[in-house]
Structure 1
Amino acid sequence: MSAGWRSVAVSDGLAGRLLTETDLAGRLDHAGLDAVVLGLGRLDPRSPEEHHLDPTSLAAVLSPRLPGTRLLIAAAGHREHPWNLARAVASLQTVLPAGSGLVLGSRDHTVAGGRPGARAWDVRDLAEPVDIGPEATAETGVVARKLWDGYPYDAILADPASGGYLDLERVRASDHHGGYDVAGPLPVPTRGRPLLSLFASDDVPGDVPSAFDSVTVPLELAGEIDAETSGGLPLIAYVRDPDRLAEAGRDGRWRGVQALATDDRTLHAALAALGRG
């Protein structure tokens, strides 16, 4: 994750417009951003949206309109199993020209809280339930990274001359055991290296696994950040109001920014500050 990382989190309402408004999509794609994030409203407890689109499907549909932009999907272990998340991102890595990645949070705020003490994946005998929280979220990222690394795209030979299709020595089972037990490998290979960022919506963790590339933190939590925050990983400022991007830029602790865009005004402000638009 380079210094000066610039990304925009697009609300679902605005993302829906990108499907039909060619000029709007073109302006975003030519802004020179490092990434566009889809579905972040699921992880942000202060998101004003009530209706939410599936970010994985949205990324696949939007990819022809944003061919030059990496599309990250937002998700939480609260709702999605690590295997499913890793497989979804691996598939997106194959079809998205500029690549994909995952912004991972602890809780999906579009999911009802359920009964007191409920746990994620409490589905009787089909899977062991997992506590919802930072530890399970961190482990979800570790599992996803193991699965991506366990089946690289160049393990596919597809050589008609030799009759070989797959280099089995390059495909490894993850054999992960912990809160989750995941054997692997994935059924699809992973092209390149997907990006993985931990989204800390209300507190800043101090021990983030090296499987992650960065930690995304709301700008409002800047006062809680010190030298030990995030385990040494780059910190990305999540800026809900693009008018505060200059404030984030003056704080040397941030290695990049992720601005929220919900309408024409906020998108224009974000692109004017971060891109070429």
Structure 2
Amino acid sequence: MTAPYLALGLAGTHLTELTGSRELLARWDALPLAFTVLGIDRVDGSPPAGSTVDSSAAGAVLAGRTTGGRFLIAASPQRDHPYNLARRVASLGHLSRGRSGLLAGVRDAYAPGESSAARARAAVEAVRALEQSWPYDSVVGDRETGILVRSNEIVHVDLAGEFAIAGPLNAPEPPTGASVIAWYGPDAPPADLVLGGASVVVVPLDRQPPRDVTGVVLRAEPGHSVGEVLSAAETLLSQGFRPIRPGEPLRSALGLAAPPRRPGGRPAFPVPQPQPSL
């Protein structure tokens, strides 16, 4: 059996430490980890700490200041409407050159109000549809015709139910394709990856991780420093966990197939006409 890959699960308190230290960032960026969950405590049922950092803000810092590390931002529909979340996910995909993705959960411990599995699943479906509503290949930049975008390929998502969204998104899909969408826990919607199940397990930092799985997410507790977390990861990687070369886009690093596109989207714009004067 192939050795499992290793990932990290960091809480909000760790994100403050990581993003505030050049040394820790460089050390994290060089590790051959599969990915790191930013703010796993938002979706894993942990009680909220006294302070935290928004995972998408931390992701923007990592995307701009690193070149190798991959990450998932954690979110639920309590705080983030799918349209706003899709814009963040797509933007991070561009900034990170495909090294980022989304971990969706039912409830955000730091957000007011309640959510449900059905609402969270609907949010995941909306984010995926929105990010794919503007295909990257439609951006052509043809100077001879003056057609910069084949805008007729941009489609409405036309969603109803939990979230009524006509669409499309106001940003193109990342060059590396649709971002990886992961799900935390049971009752998963169609997603690229499920954390906390039988295949990719979440294990506390001080517990011996299994080896008969696809991947292990090493979950740091608030009392652990980022330095301790990175040292534990370095030790496990030296003991047979499968290294994954830094810098590779998240989807290809995990060997995940590209998701299918929703059929039948109605064009948001007419076929563009040549404008040679441009």
Q: Which amino acid aligns with 1:71?
A: F
Provide the residue aligned with 1:266 in structure 2.
Answer: 229
Aligned residue-pair number? 232
Query: Quick check: 1:194 aligned with 2:179?
Result: yes
Contact 2:37 2:72 in 1 (8 A): yes
Describe the shift of the 1:171–1:20 C-alpha distance in structure 2 as closer, same or farther (beyond 3 A): same
SS state at 1:196 partner: strand
Greater CA drift, 138-147 or 35-44? 35-44
**Cα offsets for 1:1-41 (capped at 9, x unmatched):** x9834321223232222233222111111111121221222
Aligned counterparts of 1:55 and 1:155: Cα–Cα separation in 2: 30
Unaligned runs of 5+ in 2: 244-278
Contact 1:60 1:92 in 2 (8 A): yes
TM-score, with normalisation over the residues of structure 1?
A: 0.76
Contact 2:16 2:52 in 1 (8 A): no
SS state at 1:64 partner: helix
**Cα offsets for 1:22-70 (capped at 9, x unmatched):** 2211111111112122122211322563211111111112223321122
Give % identity. 30
Give the superposition deviation at 1:147: 1.1
Provide the residue aligned with 1:81 in structure 2.
Answer: 81
Provide the residue aligned with 1:161 in structure 2.
Answer: 144
Provide the residue aligned with 1:123 in structure 2.
Answer: none
**Cα offsets for 1:107-147 (capped at 9, x unmatched):** 1111234xxxxx6xxxxxxxxxxxx2111111111111111
Query: Quick check: 1:143 aligned with 2:126?
Result: yes
Aligned counterparts of 2:123 and 2:234: Cα–Cα separation in 1: 32
Provide the residue aligned with 1:152 in structure 2.
Answer: 135
Contact 1:245 1:273 in 2 (8 A): no
Aligned counterparts of 2:130 and 2:19: Cα–Cα separation in 1: 31
Contact 2:101 2:181 in 1 (8 A): yes
Query: Quick check: 1:40 aligned with 2:40?
Result: yes
Aligned counterparts of 2:9 and 2:47: Cα–Cα separation in 1: 12
Q: Which amino acid aligns with 1:259?
A: L
Q: Which amino acid aligns with 2:180?
A: L
Q: Which amino acid aligns with 1:209?
A: P
The CA RMSD over aligned residues, in Å, is 2.3
Provide the residue aligned with 2:206 in structure 1.
Answer: 243
Contact 1:215 1:236 in 2 (8 A): yes
Greater CA drift, 143-152 or 47-56? 47-56
Provide the residue aligned with 2:260 in structure 1.
Answer: none
Describe the shift of the 1:245–1:149 C-alpha distance in structure 2 as closer, same or farther (beyond 3 A): farther
Aligned counterparts of 2:167 and 2:4: Cα–Cα separation in 1: 35
Greater CA drift, 46-55 or 189-198? 46-55
TM-score, with normalisation over the residues of structure 2?
A: 0.76
Aligned counterparts of 2:208 and 2:126: Cα–Cα separation in 1: 33
Aligned counterparts of 1:244 and 1:51: Cα–Cα separation in 2: 26
Contact 1:101 1:196 in 2 (8 A): yes
Greater CA drift, 167-176 or 81-90? 167-176
Highest RCO, 1 vs 2 (Cα 8 Å, sep ≥ 6): 2
Contact 2:35 2:72 in 1 (8 A): yes
Query: Quick check: 1:257 aligned with 2:216?
Result: yes
Q: Which amino acid aligns with 1:196?
A: I
Provide the residue aligned with 1:127 in structure 2.
Answer: none
Aligned counterparts of 2:171 and 2:144: Cα–Cα separation in 1: 23
Q: Which amino acid aligns with 1:199?
A: Y
